[in-house]
Copies of this chain bind each other. A is one copy, B any other.
Amino acid sequence: MAFSRFAKRMDQLKASEIREILKLTERPEVISFAGGLPDPELFPIRELQLIAVKVLEEHGKEALQYATTEGYRPLRDKIALRMNRTLGTAWTADNILITSGSQQGIDLAGKAFLDEGDVIFCESPSYLGAIQAFRAYGPEFVEVPTDHEGMDIVQLRELLQTTQRAKLIYVIPDFQNPTGRSWTLARRQELIKLANEFDLVIIEDNPYGELRFEGEPIPSLQSLDTEGRVLHLGTFSKTFCPGLRMGWTAADSAIIPKLVLLKQGADLQASTISQRQLDAYLETYDLGEQIVKIVEVYRKRRDTMMEALRREMPADVRFNIPSGGLFTWLELAPELNARDLLVRCLDHNVAFVPGGSFYPNGGHENTLRLNYSNMTEERIIEGIARLGKVLREYTAELQASPLSI
């Protein structure tokens, strides 16, 4: 019997369904579309070996010692320059805080801006790891209806007009998790206008933006911001590797020092040696080339999955064709429940994440998320065939059941 006078916030937290499911699907015979993992075959292992030795050889003492909370300045310089080139910002190292993955950027932003009872607006659906991080600070979540162009701005305005204590908008404008959708430029511009009008901070979470399969990049929210109210969260987890836990937050130079104070309390600093290794990698190799390699592989897998879905899914299943990132999103007929479907699928060794998990206020149980980044094309074809078969059986049974009449 352990001490159990937990803080009130703990009542709100429950184990992430994705993670519990991932545990069930680790058996090799399961074809799991549930994860969100990059393909480890693409990790630059050999390059990292050379760099690991070099960093310890040349700067071993510094690389293994404590360092500043802000992060290693040459790395912050490189990140600022890279953002300015690819995302249209105008940052220097002083606008960059190195974080433990972009997940930590979400947590620090929540801590910096949210009082209990403040309202967060998020896409419906949204990334559940962000919801989990924010929830610790006691906010209310307002889901904004979101379509293939981004949030419905008319509805967002209406919600803002009737909401007390609106504080923060959390969005993933490029190849969103879970849907794979991106925002149009027009919607981004309108969002910035609304944020200015209602004095809100925007968290632009961008783990997937560089994994674009086709088309031109759309300007980042941060590049459209003229009032220092957009925090941009970046990560090397999808373009380099997640195991080093290297991410960053880019923000106005008046905001970064506040986040630095919070990071000091949270964990003092990101890993010194990982920062130096990443810096040496960016110095020695071309991350752009690495991204081209990743994009080629994932694009083929996306194509394979789309073909398979067209072939195997019943006609009333709607799915998104993502132009980048790791995920696609399915909407089944309204009477179907993806959690029930998952139970049946596990019996046939295929898995996915039920979409209901991605809605902070529940519902939408007829949706599901599929990942295609970490799987051979053969397994994608076989897995979608299994999913289609189980789905047809489930639908048929439901239609035959007296309860459904």
Question: Are A9 and B111 within 8 A (Cβ)?
Answer: yes
Q: Which residues of B contact A228 (CB under 8 A)?
A: 1-3
Chain A residues 97 to 120 lying within 8 A of chain B, measured CB to CB, are 99-101, 103-104, 106-107, 111-116, 118
Binary interface encoding of chain A residues 245-272 relative to chain B, with 1 for a CB under 8 A from any of its CBs, else 0: 1000001111101100110111111111
**Cβ-closest chain B residue relative to A200:** B3
Partner of A262, one of B3, B13, B99, B167: B13
Q: Which residues of B contact A266 (CB under 8 A)?
A: 103-104, 107, 133, 266
**Cβ-closest chain B residue relative to A261:** B13
Q: Which residues of B contact A40 (CB under 8 A)?
A: 60-62, 64-65
User: What separation, in Å, do the CA atoms of A272 and B40 have in the docked complex?
Assistant: 13
Question: Are A243 and B15 within 8 A (Cβ)?
Answer: no
User: What separation, in Å, do the CA atoms of A242 and B69 have in the docked complex?
Assistant: 13
Interface: A81 (CB within 8 A): no
Question: Are A66 and B242 within 8 A (Cβ)?
Answer: yes
Question: Are A137 and B262 within 8 A (Cβ)?
Answer: no
Partner of A45, one of B6, B13, B64, B254: B64
- Report if A101-B264 is in contact (Cβ < 8 Å); known contacts: A2-B228, A43-B60, A65-B40: no
Question: Are B111 and A7 within 8 A (Cβ)?
Answer: yes
Which of A242, A253, A266, A272 has the largest count of B CB atoms less than 10 A from its CB?
A: A266
- Report if A273-B243 is in contact (Cβ < 8 Å); known contacts: A40-B61, A40-B62, A100-B100: yes
Binary interface encoding of chain A residues 116-156 relative to chain B, with 1 for a CB under 8 A from any of its CBs, else 0: 10100000000001001101110000000000000000000
The count of identical subunits is 2
Q: Which residues of B contact A1 (CB under 8 A)?
A: 227-228, 254
- Report if A227-B3 is in contact (Cβ < 8 Å); known contacts: A273-B243, A274-B271: yes
Binds B, one of A50-58, A208-216, A395-403: A50-58
Q: Which residues of B contact A264 (CB under 8 A)?
A: 16, 19, 129, 132
Question: Are B49 and A45 within 8 A (Cβ)?
Answer: no
A179–chain B nearest beta-carbon distance, Å: 21
User: What separation, in Å, do the CA atoms of A322 and B272 have in the docked complex?
Assistant: 29
Interface: A302 (CB within 8 A): no
Interface: A393 (CB within 8 A): no
Question: Are A262 and B112 within 8 A (Cβ)?
Answer: no
Binary interface encoding of chain A residues 158-180 relative to chain B, with 1 for a CB under 8 A from any of its CBs, else 0: 00000000010000000000000
**Cβ-closest chain B residue relative to A268:** B103
Interface: A85 (CB within 8 A): no
A128–chain B nearest beta-carbon distance, Å: 10
Question: Are A258 and B52 within 8 A (Cβ)?
Answer: no
Q: Which residues of B contact A30 (CB under 8 A)?
A: none
Q: Which residues of B contact A274 (CB under 8 A)?
A: 271, 273-274
Which of A38, A265, A273 has the largest count of B CB atoms less than 10 A from its CB?
A: A265
Question: Are B48 and A2 within 8 A (Cβ)?
Answer: no
Partner of A243, one of B7, B66, B112, B244: B66
Beyond the given A40-B62, A101-B267, A129-B268, please list 8 additional residue pairs across the A-B interface where CB-CB is below 8 A.
Answer: A3-B229, A4-B254, A7-B112, A43-B60, A48-B60, A49-B53, A65-B243, A66-B237
Which residues of A pack against B, CB within 8 Å? 1-10, 13-16, 19, 37-38, 40-41, 43, 45, 48-49, 52-53, 56-57, 60-69, 99-101, 103-104, 106-107, 111-116, 118, 129, 132-133, 135-137, 167, 199, 201, 227-229, 237, 241-245, 251-255, 257-258, 261-262, 264-274
| 17 residue pairs A–B, Cβ–Cβ below 8 Å | A5-B167, A7-B111, A7-B112, A10-B258, A14-B261, A15-B257, A40-B64, A48-B64, A49-B60, A52-B53, A65-B242, A99-B267, A103-B268, A107-B266, A132-B264, A243-B272, A271-B274
* The 3 residue pairs across chains A and B that have the minimum distance between CB atoms: A2-B228, A2-B252, A40-B61
